[in-house]
Amino acid sequence: MSDKQLHSENFNSSDIYISSQVFSQIIQNFDNLNIKEIEPTTKNINKNIYEGDLSIVIDELVDFIFKELNEAVNNKLMKQNVLNYIIKHKIILQEIYDWLLNNQNNSNSIYLLGYFIYNGIGTDSNSQKAIKLYHKAAELENIVAQIVLADLYSLEKNADKNYDKAFKLYKKLAEGGHACGINNLGFCYEYGIGTNINKQKAFELYQKVADLGNSTGICNLGWCYYSGIGINVNMQKAFELFQKSADLGNSIGMSYLGWCFLYGIGTNIDKQKAFELYQKAANLENDVAQYNLSSMYENGDGIEKNMDQAIYWCEKSAEQGNKGAQNKLKELK
């Protein structure tokens, strides 16, 4: 679901956590777009780039994005990881974009062109054209495109939001055994997104995906034990699960674990550890950790007070749409 924290004490439907693309503007009338607008326009591809080699790179990139989505990697960080992958393979960005334009013959290339267009990789960003491609790839049963569309349907601010469609897509993905589908279906049951609230069902789904070793599922399960969602409250268990998720490199798990150390949830208070975890998660572009890190700098809570750092991290969080940071930034400046 998005790059926001999965849970919040002040949850509302506009704060739903989305596991893939964060659509920063309202998308309207994309069904009226003419697919011809994005047909290939560039014919002269570098002769040193072999079509077969790029086909392999395209498939590997889509598989890489799929794995990132399953672990709820922040969209900003994911984009940088994609660019690093391209650089590592010594591919000129414009060449791979041009190749995608001229090779729209399978669902992976269709989806990836949409990803490039949405994120402004090798071209100007255009959400409407990107979504048209996502729909086309999803109709060809492309799993990653289906994940993106489910996320699109679940965005409160999106003009095309449709919780019923989001729920059905997440259910389909979950039935296919895909971790992000199981996680997000659990989220739907937890908060009543396209279905009735069923805390027990949410817990069972989070348990299922956690048993698969998915770091986000482990974190969600920890939240269940903290909040008593489908299970009795157990702070020690919550702490252990957040620790396990953080150890797997999950920035959300790191943020929750930092929170545990900051307030002594399931463990002793250790503000230095809290700071280190928030710093690590903040560097992984976790907006909640960035906001919490800002607060620690602002208040000198366990560290030396530093208003410049407080403003810096608050700005980073606000840029990602964190409402608390956006409001706080007005006070800090």
pTM over 0.95: no
Domain-terminating residue out of 190, 218, 252: 252
Q: What angle do CA 297, 299, 301 make, to 5 degrees?
A: 80
The structural domain count of the chain equals 2
Residue 78 forms part of a structural domain? yes
Residue 316 forms part of a structural domain? no
Q: Read off the CATH number of the domain in which 128 is found.
A: 1.25.40
Distance CA 315, CA 311 (A): 6
Given a cut of 60, is residue 4 above it in pLDDT?
Answer: no
Domain-terminating residue out of 252, 284, 300: 252
178-201 residue pLDDT tens: 999 999 999 999 999 999 999 999
Residue 208 forms part of a structural domain? yes
Distance CA 187, CA 202 (A): 7
User: In this structure, are 148 and 168 located in the same domain?
Assistant: no
45-104 residue pLDDT tens: 344 444 457 888 899 999 999 999 988 888 888 999 999 988 888 888 888 999 999 999
User: In this structure, are 54 and 155 located in the same domain?
Assistant: yes
pLDDT at 159: 57
User: In this structure, are 140 and 77 located in the same domain?
Assistant: yes
Most distant CA pair in the chain, distance: 63
Residue 32 forms part of a structural domain? no
Residue 73 forms part of a structural domain? yes
125-143 residue pLDDT tens: 998 899 999 999 999 999 9
Domain-terminating residue out of 210, 225, 252: 252
Residue 300 forms part of a structural domain? no
Distance CA 242, CA 298 (A): 26
SS3 content of the chain, % helix, strand, coil (to 5): 65, 0, 35
User: In this structure, are 155 and 166 located in the same domain?
Assistant: no
Residue 279 forms part of a structural domain? no
DSSP code per residue over 178-223:
-HHHHHHHHHHHHHTSSS---HHHHHHHHHHHHHTT-HHHHHHHHH
Residue 10 forms part of a structural domain? no
Distance CA 314, CA 328 (A): 7
- Residue listed under structure tokens 């407080």: 310
Judge whether 62 and 134 are in contact, CB under 8 Å: no
User: In this structure, are 175 and 237 located in the same domain?
Assistant: yes
Expressed as residue numbers, the domain containing 126 is: 50-159
